[in-house]
Amino acid sequence: MLMFIDIQTSGLEADAVICSVALLHEDNIQYELFNEGKKIPPLASSIHHITNEMIQNKKPFSKSTMYAFLQENNKLTNTLIAHNVKFDVQKLASAGFAWQGDVIDTLRVIKHLIQECELFSLEFLRYELKLYQQEEVMKKKYGIKDALCVNKALHDVVTTKLLFEYLLDYASVDEMKALSFEKVLLEKLPFGKYMGKYIEEIVLNDRTYVTWMLGLEDLDEDLQYSLEYYLRG
């Protein structure tokens, strides 16, 4: 079974906890809020629109219906799919759930298959690839009545499924599984003063800047791999 997931957390810091999960599988969709005993700051609320009042009387993730469903389906034959799946799997592990099945990372897959995209964030790809044109069909199929943007996890999990279906024109499910574990050699810098410029040219013209970037904390592993590759020449 293919299971699409999106997780929203209490904040942007490393120790932020799960506060909502959307899970889409076969012909069903689930969405649930959780209270892990940590307050949600305004900055996080401005991103996912979840407030402390909304989770006040909610259960912890480990005692939820969502957790029970995931445990029941935590099988080697099932595949968890997310945009930056490493983040979701790590957050699940922090909440006491260790995923045992396969994974597909649509973020890494699209970096491999469609490198010419200007950016790879889920919301950018929603517009760049016109995925939004299929959202009404998805809403009807899964019985979603609210506006998708109201529930960030719900919105993102639907977009992830649409992105996955788009990528099926480029690769099979098994090929996507393999690509999810292969580092991507990026051609262009995704942020900073040279955003959109070819990394190879930046190395030639401003090697010091590239060396400085390699010293940044929490640098994306694909970007680190690419910077080191071009530095080696």
pLDDT (tens place) for every residue of the chain, 233 residues total: 999 999 998 877 778 889 899 999 987 899 999 988 888 888 888 778 888 898 888 889 889 899 999 999 999 999 999 999 999 999 999 989 999 999 999 999 999 999 888 888 999 999 999 999 998 888 888 887 776 666 788 889 999 999 999 999 999 999 999 999 999 998 888 888 888 889 999 999 999 999 999 988 888 889 999 999 998 87
Give the whole-angstrom CA distance, residue 14 versus residue 27. 33
Q: In 3-state terms, what secondary structure has residue 39?
A: coil
- Dmax of the chain from CA atoms? 57
pLDDT score for 12: 78
Token digits for 80?
């968890």
pLDDT score for 58: 86
| Model confidence, pTM | 0.89
Q: Which long-range contacts (CB under 8 A, 24 or more apart) does 169-175 make?
A: 170/113, 170/114, 171/109, 171/113, 173/2, 173/79, 173/104
pLDDT score for 147: 63
Ordered by start, the domain boundaries in the chain are 2-179, 183-233
Give the whole-angstrom CA distance, residue 189 versus residue 27. 39
Q: Are strands 28-33 and 102-105 parallel, antiparallel or unpaired?
A: unpaired
pLDDT score for 99: 96
pLDDT score for 21: 94
pLDDT score for 150: 60
pLDDT score for 13: 79
User: What CATH topology corresponds to 2-179?
Assistant: Nucleotidyltransferase; domain 5 (3.30.420)
